[in-house]
Amino acid sequence: MRQHLIVGNGPAGVVAAETLRRADPQAEITLIGDEPEPPYSRMAIPYLLTGKIGEAGTYLRKDADHFARLRISLLEARVSALDSAQHTLTLADGRVLAWDQLLLATGSRPLRPPIPGIDLPQVLSCWTLADARAIADTVGAGARVLQMGAGFIGCIILESLAAHGRRLSVVEMGDRMVPRMLDAVAGGMIRRWCESKGVQVRTGRRVVSITAAGNALLVKLDDGESLEVDALINATGVKPNIDFLAGSGVAVDTGILVDDSMQTNIAGIYAAGDVAEAVEFATGRRVVNAIQPDAVEQARVAALNMAGQAATLPGTFVFNVLDTLGLISASFGQWHDAPGRQTAQLLDETAYRYLRLVFDGDRLVGSNSIGHTEHIGVLRGLIQGRVRLGEWQERLLANPTLLSEAYLARGLAAA
């Protein structure tokens, strides 16, 4: 009987285990996670913090018997080492487990920038259920909160940090909000929106030190400004959990390098989710695309291969849809300017609506938008489908809102 081990019980691990059970009914499947709760979704944490759901609402599967019914063994343990040649894993408590096929789905963890004072108790992350409890327990109503970092996750958690009458400020070292996802126009619009909701935003600034001041914190910025706050939330980015692979022979860069079947350089060892570094579909570059839909799709492909059914991922697709205090923005593919690319833009600053399309030849290759939620599906279809737009390119350059018409005329035909 085949022994499938899955390390990491987030969305990638859970979907892989379920896919394996369907594809390999006889196999033994063990899902290992090092957090004490049942498998849960980090995406749900903002809803927990605003009180829209309780902790059980974050669980990925609501039925307590779900995993037992599928004969998936859950094991709470930390994996500390991998021996690829012996096909074994070592746990932090010294136990050794054997595997025939292995999936690494260990996700990522928050970076802790080397700033003096970063280890003070009022400096928190917003990544795990334990973090969410710490925020709820220690950052009271009306508290002064400074969030360090305004990237994708940073913007998602703004609403929950600002809830309960807290006074929220944000410091971002980039020249705008969400700099790796959105251009200057969109980043500036999100900033204005946040400020209109009472959040103070400082961009192009860094925290250089944090010191305790009684129960509060004194946070110093690189321009000499000092802010007194009750808590600092560190949202400066994440790092894939790959330390336990040292000496294993599994090839890593930022994350674990995988091919289009999600297999690593070692036969029988796969990786999926936030920890995997896969090939981007349009550019061929390797990326860690740390979003849940990708984690789940990668896990499904990995599991089918582990069960002996050939499956491939036709390149990972980089996109983000972001809700910042109710303002929806989206970023797809190659949205940066580059030589030879053409762009079309629609901007309505007062209505918080922005649409920018980037073309390479007669293909749409990237987009940034604010508002325009009605176009999100079509944008994805045109870009991911590499649809040749023909005469529709000129029409879109003249009027970017004709996206649906272009998709009906060219995208559906291509599909």
Q: In the complex, which residues of this chain contact ligand FAD (CB under 6 A)?
A: 7-13, 32-35, 42-43, 45-46, 78-79, 105-107, 126-127, 153, 156-157, 241, 244, 273-274, 290-293, 295
CB of 82 to ligand FAD, least distance (A): 9
Report the DSSP beta bridge partners of residue 210. 219
Buried b (16+ CB within 10 A) or exposed e, 318-357: bbbbbebbebebbbbbbbeeeeeeebbeeeeeeebebbbb
Buried b (16+ CB within 10 A) or exposed e, 117-147: bbeeebbbbbbbbebbebbeeebeeebbbbb
CB of 77 to ligand FAD, least distance (A): 6
With a CB cutoff of 8 Å and minimum separation 6, the contacts of 357 are 343, 344, 345, 364, 366, 367, 396, 397, 400, 403
Nearer residue to ligand FAD within complex by CB, 3 or 80: 80
Residue from 258, 379, 267, 259 nearest 318 by CA:
379
Buried b (16+ CB within 10 A) or exposed e, 208-221: eebeeeeebbebbb
> What phi, psi does 372 have (nearest 5°)?
45, 35
CB of 8 to ligand FAD, least distance (A): 3
Side-chain-facing half-sphere of 48: CA atoms under 13 Å: 24
Nearer residue to ligand FAD within complex by CB, 159 or 230: 159
CB of 148 to ligand FAD, least distance (A): 15
Nearer residue to ligand FAD within complex by CB, 145 or 389: 145
First to last CA, the chain: 41
CB of 13 to ligand FAD, least distance (A): 6
CB of 119 to ligand FAD, least distance (A): 20
Nearer residue to ligand FAD within complex by CB, 218 or 311: 311
Residue 18, token pair as written in the block:
């379920």
Nearer residue to ligand FAD within complex by CB, 27 or 77: 77
State how far the Cα of 277 lies from the Cα of 253, in Å rounded to an integer: 8
Nearer residue to ligand FAD within complex by CB, 33 or 381: 33
CB of 107 to ligand FAD, least distance (A): 2
With a CB cutoff of 8 Å and minimum separation 6, the contacts of 293 are none
Q: Is residue 262 helix, strand or coil?
A: coil
CB of 302 to ligand FAD, least distance (A): 11
Nearer residue to ligand FAD within complex by CB, 66 or 395: 66
Task: Count CB-CB contacts under 10 A for residue 109.
Answer: 15
CB of 363 to ligand FAD, least distance (A): 25
Nearer residue to ligand FAD within complex by CB, 107 or 381: 107
Task: Count CB-CB contacts under 10 A for residue 261.
Answer: 15
Nearer residue to ligand FAD within complex by CB, 9 or 316: 9
**164: burial class by Cβ within 10 Å (0-12, 13-18, 19+)?**
middle
CB of 299 to ligand FAD, least distance (A): 7
Nearer residue to ligand FAD within complex by CB, 105 or 330: 105
Provide the total of helices (H) and of strands (E) in the chain, helices listed first: 11, 26
Task: Count CB-CB contacts under 10 A for residue 284.
Answer: 8
CB of 304 to ligand FAD, least distance (A): 17
State how far the Cα of 384 lies from the Cα of 253, in Å rounded to an integer: 25
Nearer residue to ligand FAD within complex by CB, 7 or 344: 7
Side-chain-facing half-sphere of 240: CA atoms under 13 Å: 24
With a CB cutoff of 8 Å and minimum separation 6, the contacts of 155 are 177, 178, 190, 322, 324
